[in-house]
Structure 1
Amino acid sequence: MNAEFPLHEHISYLNHAAVSPWPKRAQLAVSKFAEENTTFGASHYLEWIKIEEALRKRLSNLIGAASPSDIALSKSTSEALSIIAYGLEWFPGDEIIISNQEFPSNRIVWESLANKGVNLKIADISKGNAVEAIAKEITPQTKLVSISSVQYASGLKIDIDRLGKVCRESNILYCIDAIQSLGALPFNVEHNHADFVVADGHKWMMGPEGLALLYVKPDVRDKISLSQYGWHMVKHRGDYTRSTWEVAPDATRFECGSPNMLGIHALNASLSLIEEIGIDKIEQQLQSNISYLIEQLSSLPNVEILSPTSKAERGGIVTFKVADINSETLYSQLMQAKVICACRGGGVRFSPHFYTPKSVIDNAIRILKSLIK
């Protein structure tokens, strides 16, 4: 993996839950694409479309979707959530349930529906079983549950398959923000019964910012009204002589204009690496790193791990705090020492990936230990 991730020797990169480094093949794909643009313009556009088709197929395989035609390419998780939120029909008194640990993307968009008379209910998943806490909030007025598969600050992994069963039995729409798990953990829409899945590619999928997955279950697709229109979202895309048009039958109906071809080339290359290694092996190696990180943190004085430590409840995030040291101060000191991390949830967040060498974790722990002293 050293050839794919030639990270600078002076940094310890533990921030994949924020923005991941690209694998070398993504850099090469973008360089090749840039050279083609500079030398040949759009002469190779038909080949670029094949890369776009390959990306849709890889994304559909990654989430276990039935067909690449179920995959739309959005600009971001927030945009994808907004397409869902403002595409569904709402009535006064309708309820949406989220958790009290959601990233703002999966909170603000639902809060914005208050002027339509929609009530947002927030389940406290900080103590006890998260699925049960959400299920307790369900009433006959509940229309949708939206949850992050892994919580960005605590690292809590939700039992999304079980929650999906609860939603299906209650005839409730189910939306999963999978940005903190796709590329790190197995995911299957057939098993979790999701109606919607959203995820930007710049975290565990190791792609660029500005390109996201939007999955809409085929039998729910017509429930999403459109508010963006253009040449790309029509059935006969590319036939510019037509004076009439109709909405595309597949997920491209949610893509109003020209695709982000630069991002498509990069993300497709990154996902090819995930495909080659296999998501099960990636999860195994990532969890080995997480176990090692927890073990090393637990050996330090005055360190409290805030994230779940059981394998059933953890993704790729370990958040911790140190007694008598302000977490923001500690974060700043770690960053100055080239330990690339984040300050989240009242602590410092470390998030290695499957390829992260143990030596990188060891170096971060050595620096942390010196700061504690």
Structure 2
Amino acid sequence: MRLPSQRHLFDLPEGLVWLNCAYMSPQSRTVGDAGREAIERKASPWRVRPEDFFAESEALRRLFGTLVEADAEGVALIPSVSYGMAVVAANVPVQVGQRLLVLADEFPSNVYPWRELAQRSGGQVVTVRRPRDGDWTQALLAELDERTALIAVPHVHWTDGGLVDLERVGARAREVGAVLAVDGTQSVGALPLSVARVRPDFLVTAGYKWLMGPYSQGYLYVAPRWRDGRPLEHNWLTRGGSEDFARLVDYRDDFQPGARRFDVGERSNFVLVPMALAALRQVLAWGVEDIQTTLRVLTERVARGAREMRLEVAEEHLRGGHLVGIKRSGGYGAEVASRLAARQVFVSVRGDSLRVSPHLYNSEADVDRLLEELDALV
């Protein structure tokens, strides 16, 4: 179902066109209210009870699990994608000569951990070249074989929305015994992703883009076979019996159940967690399927208009419906985005693409405004 405009839920100035959710989502009024109320609570610490260190973070764990069709026991609360990928790198065994697959032009947080892992293990990072036909799935499958220890991929490519069929890639990874680590930052919340169907070993996502939440609140899903792994840090909240503040001096070796051992310290952030809760509740209320259906109409309008200007856009079946990259010979300089911003139209230049990423606060008129301004520039 196509959803009506949700612009009234956001404080977007009249005349401003924000087609840049892949950079950062605007904060809804509800999320902002939750943050302000949380700040007021911190001003009165006697209102913060010991159980509050657990209840809201557990609710957040459950909501994220619902969003990706995963059990809440497998969800850890983390501050960033780099933190989540560091957890993966700390736990996945790699033998000398084994391969770690990444995509060309991948986001750095999904490259640097594997370079370090390869260096200390004797493995090698193999970069899958950008396919000329735009089919990332086939390009990945062609490289994925028994030599592969790990495949670290996004659901959609962050520069232009190029789509990876995670179910097919996941099935092949299991066949060859490779670990599948997915960066869902540019998809979760806008494009359906089911842990039950994809069966990744790990799924990592930031929360401040398509999940509409605050900066520094992210999520890590860990498959059952990895839940007894080694955490990056040893904080008190993740240990057994931590609910009993009076007995914290009785140090324990056991952890809280499930993936909680991978939670970041101070996971019960009394400002960020309430904001993230409000954001996830809104995303679930909209429904990810309906968000995707609605945004696909807008990105297809972008694609048609760009092609009329003889610019290049991937075919619809090869990209996510919420994010589209417009390419031209020679690429774009950063000044193109700056000149559009001066006209109150906001997009990003990433790699060789002008990246356009609408959300429910956008309209067809916003797309037409972008195309009109872009036509004047190119």
> Which shifted more, 147-156 or 106-115?
106-115
**Matched residues in 2 for 1:132 and 1:226: separation?**
34
1:257 and 2:265 correspond: yes
- Say whether residues 1:13 and 2:22 are aligned partners: no
Matches within 5 A, 1:267-282: 267-282=276-291
CA-CA distance at 1:71 after TM superposition: 0.5
- Structure 1 counterpart of 2:372, one-letter code: R
Alignment of 1:11-90 (within 5 A): 11-44=16-49, 46-47=51-52, 49-65=54-70, 67-90=71-94
- 1:235 aligned to 2:235? no
Distance 1:4 1:136 in 2: 45
User: How far apart, in 2, do the equivalents of 1:2 and 1:137 lie?
Assistant: 43
C-alpha distance in 1, partners of 2:364/2:54?
A: 39
Of residues 178, 187, 205, the one that matches 1:181 is 187
Instruction: Give how far 1:279 is off.
Output: 1.1
1:73-152 pair list within 5 angstroms = 73-113=77-117, 114-128=119-133, 129-152=135-158
How far apart in 2 are the matches of 1:286 and 1:131? 22
* Alpha-carbon distance, 1:325 to partner: 8.4
Please tell me whether the aligned partners of residues 143 and 172 of structure 1 are also in contact (alpha carbons under 8 angstroms): yes
Q: Contact 2:189–2:288 at 8 Å: present in 1 too?
A: yes
Partner of 2:164: 158
- Cα RMSD, aligned residues only: 2.0
Contact preservation (8 Å) 2:50, 2:243: no
Amino acid across the alignment from 2:102: I
Partner deviation per Cα, 1:293-319 (whole Å, 9 max, x = no partner): 2223333x3x413x4231353342222
Question: How much has 1:256 moved relative to structure 2?
Answer: 4.8
Match of 2:199 in 1: 193
Which stretch shows the higher mean deviation, 98-107 or 33-42? 33-42
Amino acid at match of 1:15: N
Residues 89, 27 of structure 1: CA spacing in aligned structure 2 closer, same or farther, 3 A cutoff?
same
SS at match of 1:215: strand
Q: Map Cα deviations across residues 228-263 of structure 1 (whole Å, 9 max, x no partner).
A: 112022122233142333123311101252113322
Instruction: State the shift of 1:355 in Å.
Output: 3.3
1:304 pairs with 311, 316, 332, which one? 311
**1:105-150 residue CA offsets vs partner (Å, 9 max, x unmatched):** 1111101121321211111242344233222223433211110110
Match 1:246 to one of 251, 254, 272: 254
Report how many residues are paired.
367
State the distance in 1 between where 2:261 and 2:90 align: 15
* 8 A contact 1:232–1:256 mirrored in 2: no
Looking at structure 2, the residues matched to 293 and 184 of structure 1 have their Cα atoms a distance apart, in angstroms, of 17
1:324 and 1:317 map into 2 onto residues whose CA distance is 21
2:191 and 2:320 in contact (8 A); partners too: no
Question: In the aligned structure 1, how far is the partner of 2:306 from the partner of 2:142?
Answer: 35
| TM-score of the superposed pair, with normalisation by structure 1 | 0.92
Extract unaligned runs of 5+ from structure 2: 1-5
Alignment identity in percent?
25
Shift of 1:68: 1.1
The runs of at least 4 aligned residues of structure 1 exceeding 6 Å deviation read none
Instruction: Mark the CA change 1:309 to 1:23 in structure 2 (over 3 Å): closer, same or farther.
Output: farther
Q: Are the structure 2 counterparts of residues 346 and 329 from structure 1 closer, same or farther at C-alpha, using a change threshold of 3 Å? A: same
Contact 1:87–1:227 (8 Å) recurs in 2: no
Q: Does 176-185 or 360-369 show the bigger shift?
A: 360-369
Deviates most, 359-368 or 110-119: 359-368
Q: Aligned in 2, Cα 1:243/1:277: closer, same or farther, shift over 3 Å?
A: closer
In 2 relative to 1, CA 108–10 (structure 1 residues): closer, same or farther, beyond 3 Å?
A: same
Query: Structure 2 length normalisation: TM-score?
Result: 0.91
Unaligned runs of 5+ in 1: none
More deviation, 359-368/152-161: 359-368
